[in-house]
Structure 1
Amino acid sequence: MELQNNKSQTEKRQALRRQILNLRSSDFERLALDIFRYQALYNPVYGQYIQHLNIKPEQVTRLTDIPFLPVQFFKHHIIRSCEPPATAVIFESSGTTGQQTSQHHLFDETLYKTVSNRIFQENFGDLNQFHILALLPSYLERNNSSLVYMMQHFIAESKSEISGFYLKNVDEMLKTLMFLANNPDGRKVLMLGVTFALLDLAESEYDLSFLSQIRDLTVMDTGGMKGRRQELLREEVHDILTAKLFVDKIYSEYGMTEMLSQGYSHGGGLLVPGFSMRILLRDINDPFAIYDHNINSSKTGGINVIDLANLDSCSFIETQDLGRFGEKEGSFYVMGRFDNSDIRGCNLMVI
């Protein structure tokens, strides 16, 4: 009987995985509900959480009815299905000394990479059209960062000898950028960095005016002061960066250790979730009152994430971020964090 049950789970997982990889927006809600029922049945921690809430999975028929697992559970439990593939990588969140960090077990590297590729491509184009320069000093000092893992994959996919990481060797990065400014080869340039590192570069003594000569330069902010600098409003940070780095706007990436999908902003802080992801908001005072995008866009609430790529962990996460919906369907802004939440290294700045 146990062997039969394992076979049944494996078959269900494979079917859901195929649907994620071939997902169309019109099928999102149906697939999300199917994944909810799968995880309610096969994910022990999530299943117990649902039982404690006295929720019957078969009675959940809308996205707003799905119970969202508080993100803090990733700090104290291994969130996984009963019989997923073997753990390939364990991502761990950054944290200050003494803080309990979150862990997210990645079981299916191919699923994660394929989803991340598609999200990037739908926002910016093929990775092989880019030179990617990653300025991630604090993350490179760890060996279990999900952001570094994703960027390692993106750099490999770019198939560019110029693409690479920069820990503290800013001089080398600037030489690379100057070479690209003087020797354009038709590729775009993506300079992605953690907030404090981009600010350090922008406010350095270097003459950065040559950056204006790079025709297709995208500067992307991943958030995170890491206690290195005073927290600033997002607008303040991006005003400094646009002026000092000679670009018209700053792009942003929204992600976290507990998520395998990403959202991207093309400027102004307005984020668009990837195809495998959707944002709902919850009432600040009642975490079980969930709102979809039809509520007033000026209303602020806690951000709940549906991440279908989290097939083997939990696709329904109650984050500690505050947000509001944008005017564009599905879009959202990150407004900050709940006062009693831990400071997360990769969070976007407050608005």
Structure 2
Amino acid sequence: MNFKAQFKHQLHHNQPLNFTGCALELFRYQSEHNPVYKHYLQQLGIKPEEVKTLTQIPFLPIEFFKTHEVKTDMYEPAVTFYSSGTTKQSRSRHLVADLDWYTATTRFIFEKFYGPLTDHVVLALLPSYLEQGGSSLVAMVDYFVEQTGQQEQGFYLREHDKLLEAIKHARQRGKKVLLIGVSYALLDWAVKLQGQEDFSDVTIMETGGMKGRRREMIREELHAHLKRGFGVDTIHSEYGMTELLSQGYSKGGGIFWPGFTMQVLLRDLNDPFDISPTHRSGGINVIDLANVDSCGFIETKDIGRMHDDGSFEVLGRFDNSDIRGCNLLIG
């Protein structure tokens, strides 16, 4: 069994996870076997054998996924995920070696937060992602729908009446209902509903992003509209992006917890190499152990706030960065 196969087996079978040990092990391997990352480290003058802590690890700027094939070892991708954008040429590409690895990881993470998928009916309002194609979010939700064994249709473009009937049908069968949607699509329906239906037993989960369909809102304003329209007390959120195979989830208030294969570190807003656990706000860097086939150390364009318990908030994005991915609310 080669390194990557052993590493994947370790992540999914050995719990609790020694995250720091796994991250350093992955860093040493990718510093040698990922040509793009290896060259990046060489340009920085980094000697991998001298890296002993997570804060010493250089993080690959996320823009490299637009301009390079970010792969560890040689493989033909099973699927290529694309970020939001107008053309494939301007969209980030994540070359995924093993789709089953991605979907299994997403299931592990989701079920640690929300329990077995078989207890749920998953319904999705993701029109722009469906229309554009190549979305990792759509692949994840499609897998979730399949795993639930549900009778109800999973994806909806703008068929709100059919979606309402699906919710009622799932409710009659005693299932937990998860409605996951891009922000503007959920908001469109919430404005239409105006609290006229009872969704108090439905988990409403937004993935962020107005995609140019509506004006950008701070999270508090968006969630206030959604809570009023759907008649719920709490709005859940998912944090993920094309370049990551792991997710974080918020069960309310925009406070995210990373999945077990993921850790968030903050960098100084003016010095990308100043990474410290003492930073309470700054640029979000993500260690994603699930990115074993690409790069597990990503410097995102999100700005965040860290809490002492390991949870985090997404405050906004760096100036002039693309409107893309999930949870791109400006705050």
Q: TM-score range by the shorter chain?
A: over 0.9
* Alpha-carbon distance, 1:224 to partner: 0.7
The correspondence for 1:276, drawn from 261, 268, 278, is: 261
* Alpha-carbon distance, 1:208 to partner: 4.7
Match of 2:177 in 1: 189
**Structure 2 counterpart of 1:325, which letter?**
M
> Does residue 53 of the first structure (1) align with residue 44 of the second (2)?
yes
Task: Give the conservation status (yes or no) of the 8 Å contact 1:41–1:47.
Answer: yes
Task: Give the conservation status (yes or no) of the 8 Å contact 1:115–1:309.
Answer: yes
* Alpha-carbon distance, 1:177 to partner: 2.2
> Does residue 255 of the first structure (1) align with residue 240 of the second (2)?
yes
Gaps of 5+ in 1: 1-9
* Alpha-carbon distance, 1:162 to partner: 1.2
Task: Give the conservation status (yes or no) of the 8 Å contact 2:62–2:243.
Answer: yes
> Does residue 324 of the first structure (1) align with residue 305 of the second (2)?
yes
Equivalent-residue separation in structure 2 for 1:146 and 1:98 (angstroms) = 14
Match of 2:28 in 1: 37
TM-score by length of 1: 0.90
- Mark the CA change 1:345 to 1:19 in structure 2 (over 3 Å): closer, same or farther: closer
Match of 2:67 in 1: 76
* Alpha-carbon distance, 1:98 to partner: 9.4
Task: Give the conservation status (yes or no) of the 8 Å contact 1:177–1:211.
Answer: no
Match of 1:202 in 2: 190
The correspondence for 1:302, drawn from 280, 283, 304, is: 283
Equivalent-residue separation in structure 1 for 2:55 and 2:101 (angstroms) = 26
Equivalent-residue separation in structure 1 for 2:276 and 2:130 (angstroms) = 37
Match of 1:7 in 2: none
- Report percent identity of matched pairs: 50
Gaps of 5+ in 2: none
CA offset digits 1:64-89 (Å, max 9, x no partner): 001100000000001002234x3110
* Alpha-carbon distance, 1:237 to partner: 0.5
- Mark the CA change 1:229 to 1:31 in structure 2 (over 3 Å): closer, same or farther: same
Task: Give the conservation status (yes or no) of the 8 Å contact 1:226–1:345.
Answer: no
CA offset digits 1:37-92 (Å, max 9, x no partner): 110111000000011111111111100001100000000001002234x3110000
Task: Find the structure with the greater CA-based Rg.
Answer: 1
TM-score by length of 2: 0.96
**Structure 1 counterpart of 2:178, which letter?**
L
Equivalent-residue separation in structure 2 for 1:51 and 1:23 (angstroms) = 33
Task: Give the conservation status (yes or no) of the 8 Å contact 1:95–1:345.
Answer: no
Aligned partner of residue 201 in structure 1, secondary structure:
helix
Match of 1:4 in 2: none
Task: Give the conservation status (yes or no) of the 8 Å contact 1:23–1:276.
Answer: no
The correspondence for 1:241, drawn from 226, 229, 238, is: 226
* Alpha-carbon distance, 1:195 to partner: 0.1
Aligned partner of residue 203 in structure 1, secondary structure:
helix
Task: Give the conservation status (yes or no) of the 8 Å contact 1:272–1:332.
Answer: yes
